[in-house]
Structure 1
Amino acid sequence: MVILIHGDNSLRSRVALRNYIKKLRAGDFIVEEHDTQAIDYGFVEEYIQASSLFASNEKKALVLSDFFVSKKAKEYNDIIEGVFDSKTRVVVLYDRVNTQKNAAFHLFERGVVIDCSSLPRREAVQWLYDAIPHQERLSHTIIQNVFDRCGGDMWLAYNELHKIDTYCFPEQATADVVESSVDSQLENTVFKTIDALFGKKRGVAFRELRQHQANGVSALLVLGAIERHIRIVELIREQVHKGVTNSSALSATIKVPPFVVRKSLPFVQQYSAQKGIALYERLATLDEKIKRGLIDPYFACELMFFAVVVD
């Protein structure tokens, strides 16, 4: 049988996971997939032992997704010695360095290790093209341009494409919009400003906004980051109401990084659904006025900041 360890919750590793599962099924494997956090050591041990009783076990595949996110690596280190037999093949998909890997060195010793951190550019761009719902507004060329400007970071490119699509609606995105709104070097700085804003650190948020303006940072970048944050919080709220509270499960469902989910979860309690709707409506109104040339973009940012911090 094959045990497929999906190590990290990232777009790159999920693409690799999808492709490997397709490969297994094409080889007539019966694939059973589980979120590692939702099962325990005993389940895996019993599954493998039961599979070893049948001659057909070479055509069975157990997929353990988000393995290193689950922090159960030490437990599974033991199972290598106790249960695996000569017919068991271990495949480990991982994306980035993770301390949990040190606790699971036997998995790497016994396994076929596939490093997903360098997903081919063509495959990454195609994944983004398939994943973005409004392809009529975001051409393959635009997606490739955004991907390159984001330094090959698929999470960042995915979020930037959503931001561009929101801004350009209902028109098609252009190279000029990409040029003015996508700057990967500024992303961390701008998102720190947004964290301060939604964390009610008013002085810090407004001081950084003025600094962005003095540095010539596009106001569209700031407004796009606000839109993204509101959208993520509301997507999380919707899933929490459905009973999904695990950060890894939320990340996989709404397709944002786990650390973003963990940072955004407190805002679900801090801001009501009504507040979220009101902020989104305010942002849409300001966006329309900017496009019509009725308001200065940075003045629109200030008005949006006031809308966030005022209860």
Structure 2
Amino acid sequence: MDYIPLLNDIENQNIAPLYLLYGTEAYFITNIIEKITANTLAEEERDFNHSVYDMREVPVETALEEGETLPFFGAGRVVVLKNCYFLTGSKEKEKVDHNLSYLEEYIDNPPQETVMIFTAPYEKLDERKKIVKKLKKQGVFLQASSFDEKNMDEWIDRFCQTRDVSITSGAKEKMMQLAGKDMLMLSSEMDKLNLYAGEQRQITEEMVEELVPRNLEDNVFELVDHVVHGRAEHAFRIYYDLMKQNEEPIKILTLLARQFRMILHVSQLKKTGYSRQKMASRLKVHPYAVKVAEEQSRTYTEPKLKEVLQRLAEADERIKTGKMDKYLQLELSIAGLAA
């Protein structure tokens, strides 16, 4: 099940006795656990009826016995099993013996008053394992992977709707660019913007520009976008801001080359029929970065992109061999690319 439909089910009190949450996007796993707990247990019940077990340290049967115990002073119980590495193909040395036969029996007949949540913060499970097949069939499962553009757009809309605040299209686009690579950061920054919106109840692009922090890669990402579209003045404004922050020109030049290399790769992969999600997985970048690179690739032919990369490599060589001052060379490179 996808994250947002699962969230809707939980908030509508459609809560199952078994959940399997796996993948590398920790925010989704943590958030789903919090939502299940909030919709299953009252605040005063959590000390007695909420348990967390780390499968690297505790045998699975200990958690299952807890799940089979009637709730104490309440109608429900939540048991979380962290780091269920036995669901993967990992060959790591096991420090704990797990009774997986007992686990299979539990999955076949789970107590309805207990919500048992299995978490596996790994990219893949071993789909060949009987226990994985059984857990997926009997329970509700979520693969917690990075959002694509559509899902991120829906998440931001849902966030705003639940807090009675609107967001402009420009602000949403900028949020995806600056914080979309990290859902924990996106959630935190949206909370901050929601508070800042105050009585006007609208998040604008200006607010995002003012409040959301940028790292070096974000600034270079935007610098490249200005260069691609020939906006030299805007590109140099970012460059001078980076110089005030004492950023190293060679590092900026390297990031410029990396961004143009990604534009080239996206252009090539698109021709072979790759989707944005597949390109993101192949290039190990966020889907939003692929979307922007795809749009930027329309400005260049492949030979032109290869020429740009060659020019940047030559600029790097001139700096490292002392033939050109690093600051002057970076300025000349930006000017030449934006021309």
Structure 2 length-normalised TM: 0.42
- Larger RCO (CA within 8 A; separation ≥ 6): 2
Structure 1 length-normalised TM: 0.46
